[in-house]
């Protein structure tokens, strides 16, 4: 994330810029804006979407609200496994300085604890896909974890694995690293703790998702520490932006799986229809209306199938 320090901050929520006077803007991510509000942090999820390390010009309507509301649903169900950083997502309970922005913040904003963030992306993989598949094809390993011969795109692993990555600066790729390298960076005890928590949370979420006809192929978590050293689940959790969700009834190893995430956007960008080459150095083109609509539908469907609720 890039660091800033303006006092009359704004964030693009997918439409007009949202001004939040009286609070301090701390950082911008590909999707979220981070603000300091009294002793807390305010995470605002925009409707921006990224692909191939570009923030696309075309927002996906309601995406920020889907991400936030799905995260809150998961945080509630995982609270017995690991504490989280949520103070409240109810705008009526936000500090008074935000009262004038309540409607713009509603549904897409979380008021959170301040934590010392652990500089490791904690990835759990139960199936082979993405960068894990790419590494496996070269070395039969993922982040140093050996895997058996004969696995294909979408193969289920015998047991889930912890495959950490070192967090990169905004606009750069996270770097996949081994567990040993993780221990060198943050200490063996903390590395063991985040590995244990990552796999425990993944297993719980995987079981919930499969009951709803969805495979949780992989996901990434971020953890922070309170002043007393307690490890806390932070950022977003188990959304289509941080996870691969596949429909169970269409799972077929050996091919790219249909998904409930932004893979639809990636597929269009790499198709002849887009006329764009990810290696060209040029910005991606504007997404056509059909791609925007179908991507929004996939995010909303993921929310509704997982939670059993109708997205408002």
Tens-digit pLDDT profile for residues 228-272 = 999 999 999 999 999 999 999 999 999 999 999 888 898 899 999
CATH of the domain at 45: 3.30.200.20
**Whole-number Å distance between alpha carbons of 199 and 211:** 19
| 287 in a structural domain | no
Long-range contacts of 174-178 (CB under 8 A, 24+ apart): 174/121, 176/131, 176/135, 176/142, 176/143, 177/143, 178/143, 178/144
Answer with the one of 114, 139, 166 that is the final residue of a domain.
Answer: 114
> 171 or 233: whose pLDDT is higher?
233
Return the pLDDT at 4: 32
Return the pLDDT at 1: 36
Looking at the fold, whether 124 and 253 belong to one and the same domain comes out as: yes
Task: Give the tens place of pLDDT for each residue, 63-119.
Answer: 999 999 999 999 999 999 999 999 999 999 999 999 999 999 999 999 999 999 999
Return the pLDDT at 84: 98
* Predicted confidence band of residue 129 (pLDDT cuts 50, 70, 90): very high
**Whole-number Å distance between alpha carbons of 180 and 178:** 5
Decide if 265 contacts 291 (C-beta within 8 A). Answer: yes
Domain ranges, residue 18: 2-114
Answer with the one of 261, 282, 302 that is the final residue of a domain.
Answer: 261
**Whole-number Å distance between alpha carbons of 22 and 132:** 44
How many domains does one find in the chain? 2
Q: Could you give the 3-state DSSP secondary structure of residue 65?
A: helix
pLDDT higher than threshold 90 for residue 3: no
> 43 or 263: whose pLDDT is higher?
43
CA 154, 196, 87, 3 dihedral sign is negative
Looking at the fold, whether 197 and 81 belong to one and the same domain comes out as: no
Return the pLDDT at 156: 98
* Predicted confidence band of residue 173 (pLDDT cuts 50, 70, 90): low
Answer with the one of 114, 131, 149 that is the final residue of a domain.
Answer: 114
pLDDT higher than threshold 90 for residue 27: no
Residue-averaged pLDDT of the chain? 91
| 190 in a structural domain | yes
pLDDT higher than threshold 50 for residue 17: no
Quote the percentage of the chain above a pLDDT of 90. Answer: 83
CATH of the domain at 221: 3.30.470.20
Residue in this structure with the two tokens 């992306």, named with its chain if needed: 121
Return the pLDDT at 126: 98
Looking at the fold, whether 16 and 140 belong to one and the same domain comes out as: no
| 299 in a structural domain | no
**Between the CA of residue 220 and those of 16, 244, 293, what are the distances in Å?**
30, 10, 26
Quote the percentage of the chain above a pLDDT of 70. Answer: 92
| 310 in a structural domain | no
Return the pLDDT at 290: 95
Q: What are phi and psi of 276, to 5 degrees?
A: -120, 140
Looking at the fold, whether 133 and 97 belong to one and the same domain comes out as: no
E runs forming strands in the chain: 2-3, 8-12, 17-21, 24-28, 32-37, 40-45, 50-51, 54-55, 86-88, 109-112, 116-117, 120-127, 141-142, 145-146, 156-162, 165-166, 175-176, 214-225, 231-234, 243-247
| 290 in a structural domain | no
| Rounded average pLDDT over 172-177 | 79
| 154 in a structural domain | yes
What number of other Cβ atoms are within 10 A of residue 105's Cβ? 21
């Amino acid at each position: 994330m890039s660091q800033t320090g303006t006092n009359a901050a704004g964030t693009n929520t997918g439409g007009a810029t949202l001004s939040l006077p009286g609070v301090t803007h701390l950082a911008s991510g590909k999707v979220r804006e981070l603000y300091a509000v009294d002793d807390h942090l305010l995470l605002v999820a925009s409707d921006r979407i990224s692909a191939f390390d570009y923030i696309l010009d075309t927002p996906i309507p309601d995406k920020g609200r889907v991400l936030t509301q799905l995260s809150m649903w998961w945080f509630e169900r995982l609270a017995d496994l690991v504490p989280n950083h949520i103070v409240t997502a109810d705008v009526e309970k936000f500090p008074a300085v935000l009262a004038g922005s309540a409607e713009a913040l509603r549904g897409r904003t979380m008021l959170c604890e301040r934590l010392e963030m652990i500089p490791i992306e904690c990835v759990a993989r139960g199936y082979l896909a993405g960068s894990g598949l790419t590494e496996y094809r070269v070395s039969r390993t993922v982040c140093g974890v050996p895997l058996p011969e004969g696995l294909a795109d979408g193969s289920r692993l015998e047991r889930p694995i912890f495959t950490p990555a070192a967090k990169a600066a905004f606009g750069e790729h996270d770097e996949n690293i081994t567990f040993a390298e993780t221990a060198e960076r943050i200490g063996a005890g903390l590395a063991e703790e985040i590995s244990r928590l990552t796999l425990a949370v993944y297993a719980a979420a995987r079981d919930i998702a499969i009951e709803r006809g969805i495979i949780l192929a992989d996901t990434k978590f971020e953890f922070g520490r309170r002043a007393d050293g307690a490890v806390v689940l932070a950022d977003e959790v188990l959304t289509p932006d941080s996870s691969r969700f596949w429909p169970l009834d269409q799972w077929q190893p050996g091919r790219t799986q249909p998904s409930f995430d932004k893979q639809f956007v990636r597929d269009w960008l790499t198709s002849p229809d887009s006329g764009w080459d990810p290696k060209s150095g040029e910005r991606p083109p504007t997404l056509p209306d059909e791609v925007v609509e179908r991507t929004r539908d996939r995010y909303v469907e993921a929310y509704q199938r997982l939670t059993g609720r109708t997205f408002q």
